[in-house]
Homo-oligomer: A and B are copies of this chain.
């Protein structure tokens, strides 16, 4: 049933090699024969078997993408952009969703991408062992998250600067009791929450504000988690007048919690997010914008470049993308209060 290269060769009256050369645009085939073969192949509906082709050539024309989630806006958007760049260049994308610990472990022990991909794009931050496992594949590696690490080209943003601009914005508005909804969860070697937390502490110190541990809660990077965290913060003996959420999704959860507590934003509590989620504008969320799709596309391009010029210069270890604070309607000066 499936038509093979020899079928095409026979129908066109040439050898299999010639068909192979003709269809892949390699030199050594007369234009006449080439177009003839193309016609026959099209008519027969022939497509080269990727398995056979990569077995013979060693190239797979496939990129492996590993992600911790797909459904979440950030990762879906990065993946979408990267996939477009890859497929436009003729590469297929093998997707690995490593959300659960089991899936993640299974992936890194069995390493199913071995001999199956020409490069790997990681949307998650591998720990030391995982990182070594990926390097052992012997293919170009890139990532859109975390800091620089050996063997990877990392396209990212300056998390500290971004978080600082958010918190500083709140300080400048006159807030003193500033809470944070962090995203620290699990031993995922995720430097993002660490950096953003450090930035938060730094700005507070800079402004001479004493850090109150009761004003920090974990939101797990989800809407529900953000809601829980905000609820927790509101239960503090002296609740915050402003909150920095480490992601827009958690910020939106916070907004929901505030609404349920009949608190007004920004009159009673100011909220700043991080990401500039597609829907941040809908709820009027002030946030730190980062080029999410841009990072996915750029990382993909970096990989393709390494694939095209294997012996070129060392690729840059880190590419920094721009960020900016977007002011909307969830932040304002604190409401004047009685002495306390």
Where the two chains meet, the residues of A that have a C-beta atom closer than 8 Å to any C-beta of B are 1-2, 45, 47, 49-52, 54-55, 60, 62, 65, 69-73, 75-77, 79-81, 83-84, 87-88, 92-97, 99-100, 103, 106, 110-112, 114-116, 136, 138, 223, 249, 252-253, 255-256, 259, 278-279, 281-284, 293
Residue of B nearest to A61 (CB): B112
Bound-state Cα–Cα, A138 to B73, Å:
34
Known: A55-B49, A71-B73, A83-B97. A223 touches B111 (CB 8 A): no
Closest chain B CB from A11 CB (angstroms): 18
Which 9 interchain pairs have the tightest Cβ spacing? A76-B76, A71-B80, A70-B80, A83-B97, A51-B55, A47-B114, A71-B77, A49-B115, A51-B54
Report B-chain residues with C-beta under 8 Å of the C-beta of A112.
47, 50, 92
Which B residues touch A138, using CB under 8 A? 1-2
Give Cα A136 to B99, complex, Å: 34
Q: Are A223 and B116 in contact (CB under 8 A)?
A: no
Indicate whether A223 sits within 8 Å of B115 (C-beta atoms), given known contacts A71-B293, A293-B71: no
Do A2 and B115 contact each other (CB < 8 Å), given the known contacts A95-B95, A103-B88?
yes
B49 and A52 within 8 A (CB):
no
List the B residue with the shortest CB-CB distance to A226: B282
**Which of A1, A83, A94 has the most C-beta atoms of chain B within 10 angstroms of its own C-beta?**
A83
Cβ contacts under 8 Å, A80 to chain B:
69-71, 97, 99
Q: In angstroms, how far is the closest chain B Cβ from the Cβ of A3?
A: 9
Is A60 in contact with B51, judged by CB distance below 8 angstroms? yes
Distance (whole angstroms) from the CB of A322 to the closest CB of chain B: 20
Q: A47-B111, A70-B76, A80-B69 are in contact. Are A95 and B93 (CB under 8 A)?
A: yes
Q: Which of A69, A70, A75, A259 has the most CB of B within 10 A?
A: A70
Contact A223–B51 (Cβ < 8 Å)? no
A253 contact set on B, CB distance < 8 A? 282
Docked pose: A333 CA to B116 CA in angstroms = 59
Task: Please indicate the chain B residues that have their CB under 8 angstroms from the CB of A256 in the complex.
Answer: 281-282
| Residues of chain B with a CB closer than 8 A to A75's CB | 76
Query: Which residues of chain B are near A52, meaning CB under 8 Å?
Result: 51, 55
| Contact in complex: B97, A87 (CB < 8 Å) | yes
Question: Is the beta-carbon distance between A87 and B103 smaller than 8 angstroms?
Answer: yes
| Residue from B55, B79, B136 in contact with A55 in the complex, judged by beta carbons closer than 8 Å | B55
User: What B residues does A49 contact at CB under 8 A?
Assistant: 55, 114-116
